[in-house]
Chain A
């Protein structure tokens, strides 16, 4: 096989940071080549160099042995390199066809030739069996279908090398399988796929070769068949890591939070955002809420924390109904909340850590009386939390925005856990963090559970949910598809529930 693409000694410096340090990557035609690395390892930078968005500080790129220089995404596209971005580059109000036509360059054509384009696209769709309606508005398509549109768009523009940037992040397990089939069918037709991911299992499954990046450097390129998942994890993180969690089995605790028939309607169009949600959280258990992003999880947490008032139903906690209570009342009742977006709703980025630590409890007597804040007490408290939770920061007066993502998340967790809650609501607590930080946060959550605290854990990472939860509920379009124990369920069944099938109907089908 010939080398279709070589990136030789690529170095990319940003002010103060070396994002890529002497990276060399060789890709053969027709293979699936994974780029594995943690967040911030330099995967995206390298791909942005390849598709013309960045220019390398040093180094060269060779296509079919010929040296090339790209100054824009269009240059790279013209040479057959197409990128499918993690956040889809599609316009929801336009049709699939029009989305493929935006910016098309058919040699000076003024009037759109929708008919010819539609024929060409239909050919592509049939060849790779992609099942997309060209005249549908993109906004009406599912996430999986949108991704297919992105791939079609790139193919239509003549890509031979496809870069897929974290393509499975938004997909259900079934959609992921479909994507993998599509990738295989593409490589059979001699397309080359660069697959960027930090998910070890997927990399192991789909790729022929894998290049591991760590802190901007290549740790090596390996044949996937020669490496185990554990090997890959070690290569990616640079040390042995323990992917398992130690959990003590516990007696069934008392019911702490009892949610009954909770419903929420959108005020504008009366659309049901939550429908008849029923579940309970017990002392000393982690209840996982699984589901693809945007299926009512945010709304559920907002209702529980008083940021929205549910239209009907009850939220019973310690004998009180929380449904119409204000956030402050709920939070002062022994409930803590790790919000879904640490930078938008978890912290105030331009404030110091001391101020951020004080946000939740500034009104309590230990931190000040009447209008005065007792800065000495707050600072003392902050110093203690920074030490206890080993938060890496030059001082407690550092601004929150200057911390790394993992340390920002630790600040929130320290703040919320130090309030000694009885119920902890955690939403996407590890989103976008590196393996080390994830490990730490998982330990913290399990430790709290073992202490007898009830935890509601909302996450879109299926592995995380399966690993940590005592019980799991799966949400789809504002409804609960089933409540299960992780030991009683397969990943496949989870995937079907995340795609909108109720547990009973799945089991009933199996029985037949």
Chain B
């Protein structure tokens, strides 16, 4: 029983850790399918992680915090769309700029609002929500059905976004804009509006991932706390071949590396701690090297569109 219980808890950890990456990956998916190449997910997650803590602190509810996080994400999405769609700035450069902006703005606001003291402001955070009945199943219950609400939301969004992209008119229109905006234009689709919407909604979902980091996995904000998850999400999208289920699989695999590193640390293996924490990142790089060339990105990804 002991082994089964540990496995169950490892799976639970993997799922919990994968949730923010999955959310960021799904958000990126929407942005990418509209033909926008966004590498600023790290920045969006940071600003949202901070906004969520601030919201929860001032309004006393973690849900208000989540709303703040989503609004912050949406604002980043709006800035990105304005610069790259309307002004047709280089999407990679703007993405880098938003990463820097997210990191520095969240750090600055954090110091302004919470000061530089070491004491942590007490805030409302997400709590686990056991699913009645299902969570009582031995081994499976604790692994899958005893999580925080955002975790359920993240995994529920996989089929939802998949359905949206591949089974609805709006999803088809969105993908056509990402594949060839001129075709969409001749068929009466508003390319600019589609890209704005995708950027704002996508960044909102990325923002949920950021908010979950600071109000779900942890209960405070620290500078650079996203620590590369935004980039891992980027890799998960490519590894997952621009499909929601693929992104989910990728997020789970990358974070399983995290679980392995935890196990090794606890078991007292004679490997320095710093090497163990590298595992998920190394896994990401290896996955990218092996699979990146086979991924089929939307055809117009990264290319600005000008009418007429």
Contact = CB atoms under 8 A, between A and B. Distances in A.
Interface of A: 53, 72-74, 77, 83, 85, 89-91, 93-94, 98, 101-106, 109-112
Given A91-B183, A102-B173, A103-B176, A74 B188 contact: yes
11 contacts: A73-B185, A77-B188, A89-B186, A98-B172, A103-B173, A103-B176, A103-B187, A106-B169, A110-B170, A111-B169, A112-B172
B168 A112 contact: yes
Contacts of B308: 53
Given A72-B188, A74-B188, A103-B187, A93 B179 contact: yes
Contacts of B173: 102-103
B169 A104 contact: yes
Given A103-B173, A104-B169, A89 B182 contact: yes
Contacts of B299: 91, 93
A149 to B, nearest CB: 12
Given A89-B182, A93-B179, A94-B179, A102 B189 contact: yes
Main secondary structure of the interface of B (DSSP, over half): helix
Contacts of A89: 180, 182-183, 186-187
Given A94-B179, A103-B173, A103-B176, A111 B168 contact: yes
A9 B72 CA distance: 54
Contact of B187 (A53, A93, A102, A106): A102
Contact of A91 (B168, B176, B188): B176
Contacts of A91: 176, 179-180, 183, 299
Contact of A85 (B170, B175, B186): B186
Contacts, number: 58
Contacts of A85: 186
Contacts of B172: 98, 101-102, 112
Question: Quick one: which of A98, A101, A102, A109 has the most chain B CB within 10 A?
Answer: A102
Contacts of B222: none
Given A89-B182, A110-B168, 7 more contacts: A91-B179, A94-B179, A98-B172, A101-B172, A102-B172, A103-B184, A112-B167
Nearest to A77: B188
B296 interface: yes
B305 to A, nearest CB: 14
B186 to A, nearest CB: 5
A20 B296 CA distance: 44
A111 B180 CA distance: 22
Contacts of B180: 89, 91
A105 B188 CA distance: 10
Nearest to A106: B169
Interface of B: 167-173, 175-176, 179-180, 182-189, 296, 299, 308
Contacts of A103: 173, 176, 184, 187-189
Contacts of A74: 188
Given A93-B296, A94-B179, A101-B172, A111 B167 contact: yes
A355 B188 CA distance: 44
B159 to A, nearest CB: 14
B162 to A, nearest CB: 13
Contacts of B185: 73
Contacts of B169: 101, 104, 106, 109-112
Nearest to A88: B183
Nearest to B179: A91
Nearest to A89: B183
B170 A102 contact: no
Contact of B184 (A93, A102, A105, A109): A102
A104 B171 CA distance: 12
A79 to B, nearest CB: 13
A73 B186 contact: yes
A86 to B, nearest CB: 12
Question: Quick one: which of A85, A89, A103, A105 has the most chain B CB within 10 A?
Answer: A103
A102 B185 CA distance: 10
A243 to B, nearest CB: 36
Contacts of B183: 89-91, 102
Contacts of A104: 169
A101 B184 CA distance: 11
A233 B51 CA distance: 71
A90 B173 CA distance: 13
Contact of A73 (B171, B188, B296): B188
A59 B208 CA distance: 54
A90 B176 CA distance: 9
A74 B184 CA distance: 11
A319 B219 CA distance: 80
Nearest to A76: B188
Nearest to B180: A91
Contacts of B170: 110
A74 B173 CA distance: 15
A77 B173 CA distance: 18
A105 B168 CA distance: 12
Contacts of A106: 169
Nearest to B175: A94
A264 to B, nearest CB: 22
Contacts of A105: 188
4 A-B pairs closest in CB distance? A103-B187, A74-B188, A102-B176, A89-B183
